[in-house]
Amino acid sequence: MSTLAEIEFAVDALPLPQQKELFQHLAERLNARAEPKRRLPLVPATGSPITQTEIDDALDSD
């Protein structure tokens, strides 16, 4: 099995409980590999609270 179509065909041949088990396993693997979310500090080095504008600007820079 090397193509997505072949894999889908093989999965369709499985009983529904095994399809669900496979899906759960794949979802867990994908979630484990997910990139960590970028965290912004609540208070910048200046000690002043971050404004909504600064948050929006930081999000736009990605």
- Classified as helix, coil or strand, 32 is helix
pLDDT in tens, 1-59: 679 999 999 999 999 999 999 999 999 998 887 777 777 766 767 777 778 898 888 88
Is the pTM here over 0.85, yes or no? no
**Which contacts of 36-41 are long-range, i.e. CB under 8 A and separated by 24 or more positions?**
38/62
All structural domains of the chain with their residue ranges: 1-33
Task: Judge contact between 32 and 24, C-beta under 8 A.
Answer: no
